[in-house]
């Protein structure tokens, strides 16, 4: 386990409740008397503990360095909600914005205006138009996530049968990239020849919608064997639904162990799940934002980010595999949560 992990208890819940609802958004601000810059974090949506975990890591680092932190959680996982927040942050004269983009292209105009106002912009967790941000803090490579998800589906189905994918929205940059990579892998690797992707459902990154989509999948596909959820909010809702429906359909995917603990295990609806540490991802975004504001980096390939509380430090800034004109910083590996280790992991995040 990485040294930056810590026992969590109810910390994420407390962090979420500390926010104030303002104009349909959850907004949390914390100011340090020491100064040190004003840094903003915009998550994908409010209805997801994963986003609170990222925000917690971001805020911890910013405040620890004597800066002011503004955390924003849109009510829904849509670009329009994020555009409203970006416009507000421009008027607040923040020094930097770290955003988990809900759309690859629709944020372009707002983020361009932010940069023209002298604000440093990075993306984290989910990327946007490469021309409007300095770099992207990526949780793990697209190829690693796709391979891990396909192997998980293979394992829980015995390598054959129908499976479905539960994603967030039609426009989610990261989920769409993972989905495309999974489809490419399934079509090119004979290992998966007996697996059939029967449907793709979109749960809007919300628990209720994800639960309804799970019920729809069960009703529409009687031979369904497994669901792969590319959403931490969706996987928990889907696992709960599978448990209540008393079906033999299993689920795997990306999820937080603290949320999934009661459903994990060979006899449960979710034999195993995977994730990186979202708190560390938020921390990495904070260190990157501060380095840009201070002028230590520009976001160019070949530079590196010092992240004192993360054991992978320094983190190299590298060219994107698909676009050599843009860069990313990859947090690292993924962890697997199963019956053998869930009791340990559920108190981490």
| pLDDT tens figures, 228-283 | 999 999 999 999 999 999 999 999 999 999 999 999 999 999 999 999 999 999 99
pLDDT at site 36:
86
> Is the pLDDT score of 60 beyond 90?
yes
Integer Cα distance of 327 and 317 in angstroms: 6
> Is the pLDDT score of 22 beyond 70?
no
Phi and psi, residue 30, nearest 5°: -140, 130
Same topology between domain 11-140+277-337 and domain 142-275 = yes
pLDDT averaged over every residue in the chain: 92
> Could you read off the pLDDT of 103-121 as tens digits, one per residue?
999 999 999 999 999 999 9
Q: Is the dihedral of CA 214, 217, 336, 172 positive or negative?
A: negative
> Is the pLDDT score of 166 beyond 80?
yes
Integer Cα distance of 157 and 195 in angstroms: 8
pTM for this structure? 0.91
Phi and psi, residue 118, nearest 5°: 90, 15
- The domain segmentation of the chain, as residue ranges, is 11-140+277-337, 142-275
Any idea which architecture 11-140+277-337 has in CATH? 3-Layer(aba) Sandwich (3.40)
What CATH topology corresponds to 142-275? Answer: Rossmann fold (3.40.50)
> Could you read off the pLDDT of 187-229 as tens digits, one per residue?
999 999 999 999 999 999 999 999 999 999 999 999 999 999 9
Least confident of 20-29, 41-50, 75-84, 340-349: 20-29
Tokens, residue 30: 């914390």
Phi and psi, residue 70, nearest 5°: -120, 115
Residues 58-87 have a mean pLDDT of 97
């Amino acid at each position: 386990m990485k040294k930056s992990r810590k026992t969590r208890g109810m910390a994420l819940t407390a962090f979420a409740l500390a926010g104030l609802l303002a104009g349909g958004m959850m907004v949390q601000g914390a100011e340090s008397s020491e100064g040190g810059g004003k840094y903003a974090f915009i998550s994908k949506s409010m209805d997801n503990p994963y986003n609170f975990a990222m925000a917690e890591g971001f805020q911890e680092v910013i405040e620890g360095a004597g800066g002011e932190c503004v955390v924003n959680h849109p009510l829904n996982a849509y670009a329009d909600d994020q555009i409203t927040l970006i416009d507000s942050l421009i008027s607040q004269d923040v020094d930097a914005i770290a955003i988990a983009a809900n759309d690859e292209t629709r944020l372009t105009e707002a983020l361009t205006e932010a940069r023209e106002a002298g604000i440093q912009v990075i993306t984290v967790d989910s990327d946007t138009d490469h021309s409007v941000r300095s770099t992207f803090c990526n949780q793990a490579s697209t190829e690693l996530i796709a391979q891990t998800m396909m192997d998980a589906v293979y394992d829980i189905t015995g390598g054959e049968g129908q499976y479905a994918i539960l994603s967030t929205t039609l426009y989610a940059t990261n989920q769409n990239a993972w989905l495309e990579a999974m489809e490419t892998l399934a079509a090119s690797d004979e290992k998966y020849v007996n697996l059939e992707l029967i449907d793709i459902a979109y749960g809007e990154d919300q628990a209720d919608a994800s639960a309804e989509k799970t019920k729809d999948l069960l009703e529409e596909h009687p031979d369904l064997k497994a669901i792969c959820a590319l959403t931490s909010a969706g996987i928990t809702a889907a696992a709960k639904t599978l448990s209540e429906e008393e079906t033999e359909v299993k689920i795997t995917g990306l999820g937080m162990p603290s949320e999934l603990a009661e459903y994990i295990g060979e006899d449960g609806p979710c034999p195993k799940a995977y994730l990186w540490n979202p708190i560390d991802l938020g921390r990495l975004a904070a260190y990157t934002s501060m380095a840009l504001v201070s002028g230590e980096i520009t976001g160019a390939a070949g530079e590196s980010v010092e992240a004192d509380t993360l054991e992978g430090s320094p983190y190299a800034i590298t060219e994107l595999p698909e676009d050599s004109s843009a860069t990313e910083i990859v947090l690292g590996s993924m962890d697997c949560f199963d019956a053998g280790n869930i009791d340990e992991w559920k108190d981490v995040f």
